[in-house]
């Protein structure tokens, strides 16, 4: 099995990469290092240091599952940069969904517990919720297999 982890150099992503490798997966990590840390590199994984939205433009039939963790992951910056937050968290999810559709890969999407506080309270919560809706639509229309995990305190 081959897994792709977007945002695989963040805290959650790097721990997931380590676990997938221990489970015997081949792992491709796509991370632009905007918030990830190079010291989290696992020597057994393959890394692409690029914005996932441009890297995923081409399908890859060798990917079985995508763990989509890449995002603007904080509420406060979303107030100053709402367009950037929406681009990464909403549009970025559409890019991953389309990649999965073309590649016939399954997706696990990192949603957010901010959903439960209200999706209209800040650009971050809204954009993460929109990402969830993108995957629901791709599942309904294209039969893309996607699951959503809403993280709380990690």
pLDDT, tens digit (0-9, with 9 covering 90-100), for 4-48:
999 999 999 999 999 999 999 999 999 999 999 999 999 999 999
Query: CB under 8 Å to 127, separation ≥6 — which residues?
Result: 72, 78, 85, 86, 88, 89, 90
Cα end-to-end distance, the chain, whole Å:
26
C-alpha–C-alpha distance, residues 43 and 47, integer Å: 9
| pLDDT for res 24 | 98
Over range 114-134, report the average pLDDT. 96
Please enumerate, as own/partner, the contacts of 84-91 that have beta carbons within 8 Å and a separation of 24 or more.
85/123, 85/124, 85/127, 86/123, 86/126, 86/127, 86/130, 87/53, 88/53, 88/127, 89/124, 89/127, 89/128, 89/130, 89/131, 90/127, 90/130, 90/131, 90/134, 91/53
Tokens standing for residue 101: 């559709």
Q: What residues are labeled active site?
A: 124
Q: Is the pTM of this model over 0.85?
A: yes
119-147: b (≥16 Cβ within 10 Å) or e: beebbbbbbbbbbbebbeebbeeeebebe
Give the tens place of pLDDT for each residue, 67-100: 999 999 899 999 999 999 999 999 999 999 999 9
Could you tell me which of 63, 14, 22 has the C-alpha nearest to residue 39?
Answer: 14
């Amino acid at each position: 099995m081959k897994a792709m982890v977007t945002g695989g150099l963040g805290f959650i992503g790097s721990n997931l990469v380590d676990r997938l490798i221990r489970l015997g997966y081949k792992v491709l990590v796509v991370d632009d290092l905007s918030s990830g840390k190079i010291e989290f590199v696992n020597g057994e994984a393959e890394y692409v240091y690029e914005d996932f939205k441009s890297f995923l433009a081409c399908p890859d039939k060798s990917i079985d599952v995508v763990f989509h963790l890449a995002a603007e992951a904080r509420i406060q910056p979303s107030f100053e940069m709402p367009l950037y937050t929406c681009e990464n968290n909403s549009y970025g999810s559409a890019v991953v969904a389309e990649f999965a559709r073309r590649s016939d890969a399954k997706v696990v999407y990192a949603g957010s517990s901010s959903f439960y506080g209200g999706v209209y309270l800040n650009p971050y919560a809204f954009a993460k919720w929109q990402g969830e809706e993108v995957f629901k639509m791709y599942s309904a229309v294209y039969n893309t297999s996607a699951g959503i995990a809403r993280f709380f305190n990690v």
